[in-house]
Amino acid sequence: MGTITLDRDQEFNLDTTLSCGQVFRWTKVGAWWCGVVGDRVLKIRQDGQTLTFTGASPSFVRSYFQLDADLAAIVRSFDRDPFIHTATERCRGLRIIRQPAWECTISYLCATNSNIPMVRQRIEGLARQFGRELTFEGTSYFGFPRPHVLTSACATTLAVCKLGYRAAYLSETTSTLAAARGWEEKIRMLPYAEARGVLMSLRGIGPKAADCILLFAFQKYEAFPVDVWIRRIMSGHYAIPRDVKSEYERISRFARAYFGPFAGYAQEYLYCARK
DNA sequence: GCCCAGGGTGCGC
DNA sequence: GCGCACCATGGG
């Protein structure tokens, strides 16, 4: 059983962070959150400034939840009007998680044009069909499928996972990435715009999914994913310039210029406070 | 039956 | 480069 005691000024809200829709494999049972990250089962709870967990080392937990990022400074950097300010208050302690790149990529490929419960169901299906069985405290869990396993996945088994038309995208992108050694490091080194181009060259990864992956796996916080919720929120509350770019680029570029280098963080607060 | 959801692709213009 | 039909799937 590991423990981390947060400093008084080290703001963090585990509930908000895990339930805001950035990750899909966590569920809360009583006071405990239980989730699978890659091939590890992690159980964690928060009591005030204390995090208690099993299944991972303190350094993993720190890195996964990005506990050493200066959240107060990040929020201050984009807290520039009453509307976003309300969102930051409603979702106080929300941190952007650092997800494994492969898992994040496939997850957001599965997430297109779907609601969150559907995405969770798909990913759970993929894990059950193609992931390693992990026994944790007497219960079976399934790790996130590895690239080479998904590469050889047959269509009929894949169909069980209810991916719909995304199944073909998943097969192609899986093969591409399984053959592309060092793709993660390459993207990590590239600046935002170029990294985004590489991700968008993958089948089934468009502007929105690419931005999610850059934000949630690569810590490129200028990425500003625009889904239907964010599009509504942004056009409803902000004066988006009417240049000739596509609507996605209009909103996304405006947000970067307006909110600054942590625009993606602002997006997450807006998304979390959407209802 | 309809509309919607953390959209992407491929086409015609 | 932009707009638009189409794409499976389940829930409301």
Quick check: is A162 catalytic? no
Residue partners of A1: CB distance under 8 A and separation at least 6: A52, A53, A54
Of the candidates A228, A127, A124, A123, the residue with the CA atom closest to the CA atom of residue A166: A123
Looking at residue A257, its amino acid is A
- Residue A227: predicted pLDDT: 96
Lowest-confidence pick of A65-74, A149-158, A165-174, A217-226:
A149-158
Whole-number Å distance between alpha carbons of A17 and A67 = 11
Helix (H, G, I), strand (E, B) or coil at A34: strand
CB A153 within 8 A of CB A125: no
User: What's the sign of the alpha-carbon dihedral A190, A254, A95, A147?
Assistant: negative
User: Any atom of strand B under 7 A from CB of A168?
Assistant: no
- Residue A245: predicted pLDDT: 84
- Copy the structure tokens of residue A78: 């984009």
C-alpha distances (whole Å) from A103 to each of A108, A138, A191, A230, A263 are 9, 25, 21, 23, 23
pLDDT tens, residue by residue, A164-194 = 999 999 999 999 999 999 999 999 999 999 9
pLDDT tens, residue by residue, A142-156 = 999 999 999 999 989
- Residue A9: predicted pLDDT: 85
- Residue A243: predicted pLDDT: 85
Does residue A244 have a pLDDT over 80? no
Residue partners of A45: CB distance under 8 A and separation at least 6: A14, A31, A32, A33, A51, A52, A53
Whole-number Å distance between alpha carbons of A273 and A268 = 8
- Residue A52: predicted pLDDT: 98
CA of A247 to C1' of C3 (A): 11
- Copy the structure tokens of residue A157: 């088994």
- Residue A57: predicted pLDDT: 98
Task: Please report which confidence band the pLDDT of residue A213 belongs to, taking 50, 70 and 90 as the band edges.
Answer: very high
Active-site residue (options: A28, A43, A208, A245): A208
Tell me the mean pLDDT in the region A49-70. 98
pTM here? 0.98
User: Any atom of strand B under 7 A from CB of A164?
Assistant: no
User: Any atom of strand B under 7 A from CB of A22?
Assistant: yes
Task: Please report which confidence band the pLDDT of residue A224 belongs to, taking 50, 70 and 90 as the band edges.
Answer: very high
In terms of Cβ atoms closer than 10 Å to its own Cβ (0-12, 13-18, 19+), residue A267 is buried
Whole-number Å distance between alpha carbons of A251 and A231 = 7
**Closest nucleotide to A108 by C1' from CA:** B6
Phi and psi torsions of A13, nearest 5°: -125, 105
Whole-number Å distance between alpha carbons of A232 and A230 = 5
Tell me the mean pLDDT in the region A30-37. 98
Phi and psi torsions of A177, nearest 5°: -75, -35
Whole-number Å distance between alpha carbons of A203 and A263 = 26
Angle, vertex CA A165, rays to CA A161 and CA A168, nearest 5: 85
- Residue A48: predicted pLDDT: 97
User: Any atom of strand B under 7 A from CB of A118?
Assistant: yes
Looking at residue A72, its amino acid is A
- Residue A264: predicted pLDDT: 98
CA of A263 to C1' of C4 (A): 30
